[in-house]
Structure 1
């Protein structure tokens, strides 16, 4: 049974992580016949790296639905990993990709959504709530007799990526603090990007008589990290891993906006998404862990916060001033 995978938003962190795993991990590499990346920046460094690993890169040209359909057909893609691109027009671009998949009759679709989108309120967390609209559109394909798309769907709701904490590495290094607007009482469970990529790769490679493996097909998979933590507890885990004190500082949303704008190269809409997720934490809507699916699918345990901070110790460890040399009386 052949498996030709196309991953959208190949130039983004999630797309790259999934494609790299499919191309370099022996088990996944042997399970797929080809890996194609659909990218808004096909000539960027990320796509060049993926090309070297064996991926085919195809330009994603918004507004050119017919060309996108032809491109999907040309790749022979029978499986689509649909990742909304990190852009202001994310909703429109993703809806267009779903239309293209339907017209190209791509039967297996794995949609990367966001944990917490079902708890977000449209007037307070619109960027998070968009994912519900996109999930609905992806799943509605199953009821259309004109296409085979949606015949074998999977939705993965990925939680807050632990790698987002790297946005605060400057404060960690210079001041020994993590300044995040989480409030003081409620908790959340950040998940490593690599763990999300692992689950997605297992789904994309899984095969059954209806397309995806029967273990995954039709599943709504919610992924979080394995440890619920307040800001203080997260800083404690970091301190333990780094071997030096790192403190949590609860900052206002306005200060958080300033920090993100000055230190993040991401799109404004993605900065808004982060702020909305923090607001979910402050409302107590992120006080849960969901790791059962990860265990069942990967047969392993997701990365603990201690281990995450060990991996990125160089980015979080404080820069100490060099000690002054002692001088004697003689010159």
Structure 2
């Protein structure tokens, strides 16, 4: 029996990547009956692209749980990919979605959390720590006999998306620098967004007696990239792939804030999340990798950092190098 899947925050990168993979790629495509994307702003380019691929897009106007219940019921979905929105009111919106999913009796729910939330300090990294509160609310439903939601549930904690480095493409092209405030020696394991989408797609389409596959059901899966890197090591990998020298620039947090302010379309919540993650790196709390869950669920190896830079080579290549190539007639 095919799955009808509802994906929240459809205007965001994560939701778009998951939905696109489900709609266009085997073996997932054949398992799908309908994909519905819930969006706070349905007039975005991502939402339009998903509609072209065959998804339905429905606007979510938060505020009343009963209205959100009706929206979820109208999607006729048996599975929910619950992705908290990059929004100033993320907590309230996500709590509303969890309660609405409970009342709508959606059987299978996969919740997208964040790696490092368990190590975040409530005062120093409040945006990251919020995910712990949401996880707790989500997991509490496991023993609630008043709803179908809970027994067939999964939590994914993705780490720092390697694609966030694209925010610094202008500095890479103009100055040959990667300016991120992570300290000189501390390390972190960037994860490719495509890998997170693949992990979610396997879970959303896996089937078992009680909903999700028994191999996945009840799992809390932390997903990082396969390689720990400090700033210099990251720049060295980029240099080898690009064939030109790239350097790591350990900027101060206030400078990083200024850079991000002009790159994240005034989304302050997303900027705060990234800055808090960088502070977690500086504290040494990201010095681990977690890829076993990805291996077990997908049967594949996650993307290595050199492959990431190969994929986005044009975005990072310094302009001087491009001009030189042009002048040499290559």
What's the TM-score, normalizing by structure 1? Answer: 0.96
The residue that corresponds to 1:81 in the other structure is: 81
The residue that corresponds to 2:270 in the other structure is: 270
The CA deviation string for residues 71-90 of structure 1, in whole angstroms up to 9 with x for no partner, is: 21121111100000001110
Secondary structure at 1:98's aligned position in 2?
helix
Give the Cα separation in 2 of the matches to 1:37 and 1:178: 34
Contact 2:264 2:270 in 1 (8 A): no
The residue that corresponds to 2:93 in the other structure is: 93
Give the Cα separation in 2 of the matches to 1:148 and 1:257: 43
Contact 1:177 1:246 in 2 (8 A): yes
Contact 2:195 2:302 in 1 (8 A): yes
The residue that corresponds to 2:10 in the other structure is: 10
Higher alpha-carbon Rg: 1
Are 2:292 and 1:316 equivalent residues in the alignment? no
Secondary structure at 1:157's aligned position in 2?
strand
The residue that corresponds to 2:21 in the other structure is: 21
Contact 2:151 2:218 in 1 (8 A): no
The residue that corresponds to 1:177 in the other structure is: 177
Secondary structure at 2:139's aligned position in 1?
helix
The CA deviation string for residues 117-168 of structure 1, in whole angstroms up to 9 with x for no partner, is: 0000101000000000011111111122211111211000000000000011
Contact 1:142 1:148 in 2 (8 A): no
Are 2:291 and 1:291 equivalent residues in the alignment? yes
Are 2:22 and 1:57 equivalent residues in the alignment? no
The residue that corresponds to 2:244 in the other structure is: 244
Give the Cα separation in 1 of the matches to 2:54 and 2:262: 36
Give the Cα separation in 2 of the matches to 1:175 and 1:74: 51
Secondary structure at 1:114's aligned position in 2?
coil
Give the Cα separation in 1 of the matches to 2:26 and 2:286: 35
Secondary structure at 1:84's aligned position in 2?
coil
How well do the aligned residues superpose, as a CA RMSD in angstroms? 1.4
The residue that corresponds to 2:204 in the other structure is: 204
The residue that corresponds to 1:329 in the other structure is: none
Displacement, 1:231?
A: 0.4
The residue that corresponds to 1:194 in the other structure is: 194
Give the Cα separation in 2 of the matches to 1:89 and 1:24: 32
Displacement, 1:46?
A: 1.3
Give the Cα separation in 2 of the matches to 1:252 and 1:39: 35
Displacement, 1:32?
A: 1.8
The CA deviation string for residues 17-76 of structure 1, in whole angstroms up to 9 with x for no partner, is: 000000001210111211111111113221111011111111101113222211211211
Displacement, 1:266?
A: 5.1
Give the ranges of 4+ consecutive aligned residues of structure 1 lying more than 6 Å apart after TM superposition.
Answer: none
